[in-house]
């Protein structure tokens, strides 16, 4: 094999490795989406105190949702939860703050504390992996502001666990103040029509891109 062939083979191998890592990141996002949707359905049925006020209008569609449809609904190229990823000022403060010397009750978030902590941990671990290996995808997949990528990439596992444990209230359901988006998500992606599912994915990606563009302009 000559030099050109070896280089071509090596480049193909690198691309294949990158694609495998990105596929793994998407799988991780979809697994977190499944956990979020299953939790919202349990809360809609009155478990763990019920849905928070911001999401209370989604009770009927979540109660009527077929559990078997959750994996399909979760199969989105973006995360359905957020950890202040679009708020560089707030998240930078958390990332640079040392461990809390004393533990006080966390401010009320949009989800029960125990469930929010577990989801936050998974979300932060996924964010770190994406920032390290796929920073160009962090905006659309996570809604992450580009100024935060380097900081998150440098975090160690103990840092991620501390953030999740001390600040579970930062874990929010994406678009929790936009029930219209959630109704569209639940109806379109539970549909047997693949065109409806594709249309929502495109709509969701447009929403993510629009929000990132707006936030980027706001920080100039």
The 10 Å Cβ neighbour count of residue 33 is 21
Q: Which residue has the higher pLDDT, 214 or 112?
A: 112
- CA atoms within a 13 Å half-sphere pointing along the CA-CB vector of 8: 5
DSSP H/E element including 172: strand 171-173
Distance separating alpha carbons of residues 124 and 127, to the nearest angstrom? 5
DSSP H/E element including 81: strand 81-83
> 74: which 2 tokens?
């979760």
Q: Please check the confidence at residue 192 and state whether its pLDDT lies above 90.
A: no
Average pLDDT over residues 136-145: 93
- Give the pLDDT confidence score for residue 17 in this predicted structure: 45
Distance separating alpha carbons of residues 91 and 88, to the nearest angstrom? 5
pLDDT per residue over 72-101, tens digit each? 999 999 999 999 999 999 998 988 876 665
- Give the pLDDT confidence score for residue 124 in this predicted structure: 97
Q: What percent of the chain has pLDDT over 90?
A: 65
137 secondary structure, DSSP code: G
| Secondary structure class of 38 (helix, strand, coil) | helix
Distance separating alpha carbons of residues 212 and 220, to the nearest angstrom? 13
Predicted model pTM: 0.85
pLDDT per residue over 8-41, tens digit each? 544 454 354 456 657 888 999 999 999 999 999 9
């Amino acid at each position: 094999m000559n030099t050109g062939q070896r280089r071509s083979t090596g480049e193909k191998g690198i691309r294949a490795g990158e694609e495998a890592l990105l596929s793994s990141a998407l799988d991780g996002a979809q697994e977190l989406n499944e956990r979020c949707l299953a939790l919202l359905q349990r809360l809609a049925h009155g478990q763990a105190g019920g849905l928070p006020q911001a999401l209370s209008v989604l009770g009927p569609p979540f109660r009527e949702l077929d559990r078997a449809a959750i994996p399909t609904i979760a199969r989105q190229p973006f995360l359905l939860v957020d950890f202040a990823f679009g708020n560089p000022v707030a998240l930078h403060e958390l990332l640079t703050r040392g461990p809390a010397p004393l533990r006080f009750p966390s401010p009320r978030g949009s989800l029960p504390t125990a469930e929010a902590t577990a989801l936050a941990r998974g979300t932060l671990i996924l964010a770190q992996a994406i920032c390290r290996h796929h920073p160009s995808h962090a905006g659309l997949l996570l809604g992450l502001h580009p100024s935060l990528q380097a900081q998150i990439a440098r975090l160690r596992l103990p840092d991620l666990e501390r953030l999740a444990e001390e600040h579970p209230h930062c874990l929010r359901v994406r678009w929790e103040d936009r029930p219209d988006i959630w109704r569209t998500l639940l109806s379109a992606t539970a549909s047997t029509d693949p065109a409806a599912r594709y249309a929502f994915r495109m709509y969701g990606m447009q929403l993510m891109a629009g929000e990132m563009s707006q936030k980027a302009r706001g920080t100039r």
